[in-house]
Structure 1
Amino acid sequence: MRINEQVVLVTGGSRGLGSETIKAFAREGAKVVINYFNSEEKALELKEQIGTNAIALQADVRDHEQVQAMFRQANEYFNQPVTTIVNNALVNFRFDPVSKKDASEISWADFQIQLESSIRGALNTIQAGLPDFKEIGFGRIINIGTNLFQNPVVAYHDYTTSKAALLGFTRNMANELGQYGITVNMVSGGLLKMTDASSATSEEVFALIESSTPLRKATDPNELADAILFFASPWGRAVTGQNLVVDGGLVMD
């Protein structure tokens, strides 16, 4: 299925990488669902910018019923089901190397917050979309990871662990759902310059990344968004269970 025939839902789609991903899919002619939790104003501004091919819907991805309702609303608005899910939502986290909790301070509750966001959120969206995916024999699921679990240059314990778990989740889902024409992949960026989540990162840290990366630059959110498009496009139809690292070559896997 070509991108311009699809309905694409991006969780956490109102800002940062989510916003750039929405714009990238809209640019290619897709209908887009801008999921948001708190950022209503930004979501509505983005919807206004795109026009009738976009709808902004509030839902906490950690809440099964809210996610189910969001999928129903999207189906009613576009009169066709969601075909691609981008699990991008990030709850209560900033890339702040100064104020992050170290090994003696981090709590299990901190881990749970990120696991709920990454794993439970992805599980809820997949389960909401799965009946339609099976019925039409097509589905694209793209989970957003990080290069930090392969190269933890900063020990963001809770965030990095949740994204490592998301890779295992991705591959299990890919194995089970492939029989229905559904692919499940992960796209892992480096520290993006600039998003709300990375705004606390100092220029010194960005300079260090740029100097040690083959492309000599920090990855821009729209560059990562373009890589996400690949997995939803016909060109990615034979790829599943993979983790594509998009960080200018800092991590070579």
Structure 2
Amino acid sequence: MELHEQTVLITGASRGVGEELVRAFASEGANVIINYYKSREKAQSLAKELGDKVIALQADIRNKQEVIQVVEAAKQYFETPVTTVVNNALIDFEFNPNTQKNAFELSWADYNKQFEGTIQGSLNSIQACLNDMKEMGFGRIVNIGTNLFQNPVVAYHEYTTAKAALLGLTRNMAKELGTYGITVNMMSGGLLKQTDASKVTTEEVFQIIEASTPLQRVTTPRELADVALFFASPWGRAITGQNLVVDGGLVMD
């Protein structure tokens, strides 16, 4: 299915990487659902800017019923089911090396918050769209990971552990859903320059990344968003269960 024929649900889409994902898919003519949790004004402003093929809908991705309501509302608005899900939402986390809890301070609650946002949230959004995808014989699921669980420049324990688990979810879903024409992949940037979550990252950390990266620069949110277009497009039709690292060559996997 061509990108302009698709209806794309992007979670956590009002700012940062999410905003770039919205702009990327909208530029290709897709219907786009901006899912947001708290950032109503930013989400609605972005939808208004991009036109009638973009709609902003609120839901806490940890709440399955709210996600289902978003999917149903979008189906009514666009008069077509969701074909593509991009699991991007990040729950209450900043990439701040100065405030990150160390191994002596961490609690299970810290981990659980990230597991709920990353794993439970992704599961909810996938399941909300799964019956329609199965009926269509087509679906694209793109999960947003990180290269930090392969190369922890900073030990963001709970965040990177949840993203490592997301790779497990990605590959198990890919194994089971392939028979229905549904692909499931993950794309992993590093610390991106710059998002709301990384605005507190120190310049020293970015300099370390630049010096260690073959391309000698930090990846941007738009460069990551371009890879989502690839996975959702006909060019990515034979790829599933993969984790594509998009970080200028810092991690070579």
Which residue matches 2:44? 44
Q: C-alpha displacement at 1:182, in angstroms?
A: 0.1
Superposed, which structure 2 residues align to 1:54-69 within 5 Å?
Answer: 54-69=54-69
Superposed, which structure 2 residues align to 1:81-230 within 5 Å?
Answer: 81-230=81-230
Query: In structure 1, how many angstroms separate the alpha carbons of the residues matched to 2:221 and 2:134?
Result: 31
Query: In structure 1, how many angstroms separate the alpha carbons of the residues matched to 2:125 and 2:90?
Result: 14
Q: How many residues align?
A: 253
Structure 1, unmatched stretches of 5+, are none
Q: C-alpha displacement at 1:212, in angstroms?
A: 1.0
Q: C-alpha displacement at 1:18, in angstroms?
A: 0.4
SS across alignment from 2:99: coil
SS across alignment from 1:48: helix
**One-letter code aligned to 1:175:** K
- Tell me if 1:5 matches 2:2: no
Query: In structure 2, how many angstroms separate the alpha carbons of the residues matched to 1:171 and 1:244?
Result: 13
In the superposition, the TM-score normalised over structure 2's length comes to 0.99
**One-letter code aligned to 1:148:** L
Query: In structure 2, how many angstroms separate the alpha carbons of the residues matched to 1:153 and 1:28?
Result: 34
Tell me how large the CA RMSD over aligned residues is.
0.5
- Tell me if 1:233 matches 2:233: yes
Query: In structure 1, how many angstroms separate the alpha carbons of the residues matched to 2:100 and 2:81?
Result: 40
Structure 2, unmatched stretches of 5+, are none
Query: In structure 2, how many angstroms separate the alpha carbons of the residues matched to 1:99 and 1:122?
Result: 27
**One-letter code aligned to 1:145:** G
Query: In structure 2, how many angstroms separate the alpha carbons of the residues matched to 1:216 and 1:41?
Result: 36
Superposed, which structure 2 residues align to 1:13-24 within 5 Å?
Answer: 13-24=13-24
Q: C-alpha displacement at 1:153, in angstroms?
A: 1.5
SS across alignment from 1:14: coil
**One-letter code aligned to 1:4:** H
SS across alignment from 1:61: coil
Q: C-alpha displacement at 1:49, in angstroms?
A: 1.0
Query: In structure 2, how many angstroms separate the alpha carbons of the residues matched to 1:150 and 1:228?
Result: 20
**One-letter code aligned to 1:18:** G
In the superposition, the TM-score normalised over structure 1's length comes to 0.99
Please identify runs of 4+ aligned residues in structure 1 that moved more than 3 A: none
Q: C-alpha displacement at 1:236, in angstroms?
A: 0.2
Query: In structure 2, how many angstroms separate the alpha carbons of the residues matched to 1:137 and 1:128?
Result: 16
SS across alignment from 1:143: strand
Query: Deviations for 1:121-142, whole angstroms, at most 9, x for unmatched residues?
Result: 0100111000100110000000
